[in-house]
Amino acid sequence: MRVVVEDLESCRNQVFSIALSIIKNYHTAEDVVQEVMIKAIKNLESFRGDSELKSWVATIAKNESLNMFKKQAKKKEISFEYLPLDFHPVTKKDELDLLLESESFQIVMASLKGMSEKKRVVFSLRLFANLSYKRIAELLRMPVDSVGVYFKRARAEVVDYYKLYQIA
């Protein structure tokens, strides 16, 4: 079990990325990370190994984040805080990745604020948690093709938002 607990710790950044992308509050995302880690440790016996530990923890993180988001929405406590500028994912280089590596990362995070929940969650799981379309489809219980469509639409929104911001 010690090896698994250490493996859980290696998922901490992924959990934080998922939480922050959904909640959009740095401090609340940190709280969610703690809750996810506690929940994962308490439920290690229920982990069957049907999927990777990373995917199992990502599912817990998504669910906890969405629950927190709904609680905050009811209390109207949703706020937006930017990530530290030195935090960004590493993926293949394209127009969006170049944005993430620049100080424009804050613009990208702000563009997520206006997206529908499905697009925001798909985009965040793909980009920040680096999950495959197939795994995202499993987590969200939707067809793989729909995941691709949501991601491409979300990506286009981010790029359009960035272009509008640059004009303004």
Structure tokens, 160: 């359009």
Domain with CATH 1.10.10.10 in the chain: 84-168
Q: Mean pLDDT throughout 16-24?
A: 84
33: how many CB neighbours lie within 10 A of its CB? 23
Residue type, 160: D
Q: What is the mean pLDDT of the chain?
A: 76
Q: Mean pLDDT throughout 22-39?
A: 87
**pLDDT for the residue 144:** 94
SS3 sequence, 80-139?
Answer: CCCCCCCCCCCCCCCHHHHHHHCCCHHHHHHHHHCCCHHHHHHHHHHHCCCCCHHHHHHH
Q: Mean pLDDT throughout 132-158?
A: 90
3-state DSSP call for residue 71? helix
Please tell me the class of the 84-168 domain: mainly alpha
Give the domain 1-81 fold: Rna Polymerase Sigma Factor; Chain: A (1.10.1740)
20: how many CB neighbours lie within 10 A of its CB? 25
The band of 34, judged by pLDDT with boundaries at 50, 70 and 90, is very high
* Cα radius of gyration (the chain): 16
Contacts of 32 (CB under 8 A, 6+ apart): 15, 19, 23, 61, 64, 65, 68
**pLDDT for the residue 55:** 85
**pLDDT for the residue 32:** 92
Distance of alpha carbon 40 from alpha carbon 71, whole angstroms: 21
Domain with CATH 1.10.1740.10 in the chain: 1-81
Q: Is the pLDDT of residue 49 over 80?
A: no
Q: Which residue has the higher pLDDT, 83 or 157?
A: 157
**Using an 8 Å Cβ cutoff, are 32 and 58 in contact?**
no
Q: Is the pLDDT of residue 131 over 60?
A: yes
The band of 158, judged by pLDDT with boundaries at 50, 70 and 90, is confident
Q: Mean pLDDT throughout 89-112?
A: 59
Q: Is the pLDDT of residue 101 over 70?
A: no
Q: Mean pLDDT throughout 83-106?
A: 49
Q: Is the pLDDT of residue 83 over 90?
A: no
